[in-house]
Structure 1
Amino acid sequence: MMKKHEIYKKDKWNMMTVEVQGRYIVLREISDDWGEEAHTFLSRPALMKWAQNRFPKQSFQDNEEEWERIINAFKQV
């Protein structure tokens, strides 16, 4: 059984989904800057480490609620 999570979505060109496929966690990131990128993680801690590097809290100083929403969405995976 595969679970799919929509983490973040601005529009159809800027979004992120995470699928849990057995023991793998596959993250697809679609961006109008660099197209589609897929990342595969073997554990939730690895996914969280990536998420915290990809969304550094400092870059959300003006919008900490947005940062918390994104990080909490990753924690739900």
Structure 2
Amino acid sequence: MNYPIPKSPQEIAALQDQTVDEELVAAAIAGVIQVSRSQGRSLEELKAEVLEDDGLLDIDQRCWLSSILAQAWDSL
């Protein structure tokens, strides 16, 4: 993978300056999971946050992302 897994919210935010590709998205998802775990958050809390209406993603996209997070959570 060309991108290291981010270890802090700041490193995750810095990814927005990169060209988006599959590896960047995978690194971002892995980073969000690792940071969430380090903060003592549960998968259910993370999924609830992703499912909140934010104006960026529609409900179908948020549900898809929630599902991907759950799969990645179990894999990491």
- Judge same fold: TM > 0.5, yes or no: no
Higher RCO (Cα < 8 Å, 6 or more apart): 2
When you count helix as a share of all residues, which structure comes out higher? 2
